[in-house]
């Protein structure tokens, strides 16, 4: 095939890895189609930007991450190019820049995960497993749990291993109890409940759908009337803050699982890519490839690094755009 063994095997590894990622993304697509009417809207989930707290900035941060990764791909291909011309100094500089780019990307992803896990507004879960969020009755904007709940001075001790019968324990308790949220809601007539269901004009006449607040033509979740909100809140059994693998405040449970798994698996690839890049960088600096009279190893890690970038292009599309 006009290519030597090592490079060919790198290509075939990439083919198999690409199929693995395709499998994940296709599974994500399956679940999304299955819950198409209740899937969280990416714009509402990923809307943070550093140093712009409280500002609704969808897409910008993840676009920045995409640029960082594409740019590190450029420096990588420049390193490969310099390798073809046997310019050791240049290869080293470009490899170094690539490593820096990878590091920045990983840091950005950590920040993204932090925001996702911490959450912002909080929500409650019904016995049926769906998420109810709170909005302001005049503006339709989201309202935080801390603005809904009122303190009731209830004592509720967390079950820990040393207190439990046969070492049983429970996860950290939410900041507010279900009662505090529900009572707070009852006391404040200016708050409404928003469901997971994505609004569609055909729902306008349904019982309990708010007649005014659902008029936006942008894709949005359905806001309920005050009476319907109170009715739904009677079913609540859990307060959700942020996201974990069991439930998340954004909506459909699978959403967080897929987010953690796919971006995590990609992040792991970036991490190993950075490690391999560091090894190759050291070899470049030590002159190993200069002695070999060939910088083909740089080309091989370059293939891997571009592949990681390629996967991100797809993750970006399917998690943030579509």
Partner 1 sequence: MAHAHEHVSNTKRIWMVFGILSVVTIIEVAFGIYKPAILHDTLFLQMNLLNWLFIGLTIYKAYYIVWAFMHLEGEKSNLRWSIVAPLVFLIIYLVFILLVEGNYVFDVFKSSQIKWNF
Which residues are near partner 1 by CB under 8 A? 1-3, 8, 11-12, 14-15, 18-19, 22-23, 26-27, 29-38, 43, 58-60, 63, 66-67, 70-71, 73-74, 76-78, 80-81, 84-85, 126, 128-130, 196-197, 217-219, 235, 302-303, 306-307, 309-310, 313-314, 316-317, 320-322
Nearer to partner 1, 33 or 167 (CB): 33
CB of 208 to partner 1, least distance (A): 12
Helix (H, G, I), strand (E, B) or coil at 239: strand
Closest residue by Cα to residue 124 from 97, 144, 107: 144
Task: Please give the span between the terminal C-alpha atoms of the chain, in angstroms, as a whole number.
Answer: 38
CA gap 137, 124 in Å, rounded? 18
Nearer to partner 1, 78 or 143 (CB): 78
Nearer to partner 1, 92 or 150 (CB): 92
CA gap 106, 322 in Å, rounded? 23
CB of 321 to partner 1, least distance (A): 5
Nearer to partner 1, 180 or 289 (CB): 289
CB of 89 to partner 1, least distance (A): 15
CA gap 289, 112 in Å, rounded? 38
CA gap 263, 126 in Å, rounded? 28
Nearer to partner 1, 74 or 150 (CB): 74
Nearer to partner 1, 149 or 263 (CB): 263
Per-position DSSP letters for 84-150, written without gaps between them: HTT-HHHHHHHHHHHHHHHHHHHHHHHHHHHHHHH-SS-EEEETTS-EEEEEETTT--B--HHHH--
CB of 176 to partner 1, least distance (A): 23
CA gap 242, 76 in Å, rounded? 37
Half-sphere exposure of 91 (CA within 13 A, CB side): 30
Nearer to partner 1, 52 or 321 (CB): 321
Nearer to partner 1, 30 or 268 (CB): 30
CB of 126 to partner 1, least distance (A): 7
CB of 215 to partner 1, least distance (A): 14
Helix (H, G, I), strand (E, B) or coil at 221: strand
CB of 168 to partner 1, least distance (A): 29
CA gap 80, 118 in Å, rounded? 40
CB of 62 to partner 1, least distance (A): 8
CA gap 171, 306 in Å, rounded? 40
Query: Sheet holding 123-126: strands in order across?
Result: 221-223, 191-198, 131-136, 123-126, 236-240
Residue 224 is classified by DSSP as: B
Nearer to partner 1, 37 or 212 (CB): 37
CA angle, residues 80, 18, 253, in degrees to nearest 5: 125
CB of 154 to partner 1, least distance (A): 27
């Amino acid at each position: 095939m006009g290519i030597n063994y090592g490079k060919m095997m790198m290509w075939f590894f990439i083919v198999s890895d690409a199929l693995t990622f395709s499998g994940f993304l296709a599974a994500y697509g399956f679940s999304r189609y299955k819950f198409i009417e209740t899937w969280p809207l990416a714009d509402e989930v990923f809307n943070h930007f550093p140093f712009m707290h409280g500002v609704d900035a969808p897409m910008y941060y993840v676009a920045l991450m995409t640029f960082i990764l594409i740019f590190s791909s450029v420096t990588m291909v420049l390193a490969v190019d310099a390798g073809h011309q046997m310019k050791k100094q240049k290869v080293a500089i470009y490899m170094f820049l690539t490593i820096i780019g990878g590091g920045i990307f990983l840091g950005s992803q950590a920040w993204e995960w932090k925001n996702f896990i911490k959450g912002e507004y909080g929500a409650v879960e019904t016995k049926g497993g769906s998420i109810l969020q709170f909005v302001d009755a005049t503006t339709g904007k989201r309202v935080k749990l801390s603005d809904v709940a009122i303190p009731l001075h209830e004592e509720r001790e967390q079950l820990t291993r040393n207190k439990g019968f046969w070492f049983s324990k429970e996860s950290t308790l939410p900041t507010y109890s279900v009662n505090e949220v529900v009572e707070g809601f009852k006391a404040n007539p200016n708050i409404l409940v928003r469901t997971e269901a994505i609004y569609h004009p055909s729902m306008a006449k349904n019982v309990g759908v708010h007649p005014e607040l659902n008029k936006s033509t942008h894709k949005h979740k359905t806001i309920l009337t005050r009476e319907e909100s109170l009715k739904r809140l009677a079913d609540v059994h859990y307060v959700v803050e942020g996201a974990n693998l069991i439930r998340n405040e954004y909506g459909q449970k699978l959403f967080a699982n897929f987010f953690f798994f796919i971006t995590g698996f990609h992040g792991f690839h970036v991490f190993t890519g950075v490690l391999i890049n560091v090894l190759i960088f050291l070899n470049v600096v030590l002159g190993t490839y200069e002695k070999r009279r060939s910088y083909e190893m740089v080309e091989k890690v370059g293939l891997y690094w571009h592949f990681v970038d390629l996967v991100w292009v797809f993750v970006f599309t399917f998690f943030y755009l579509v």
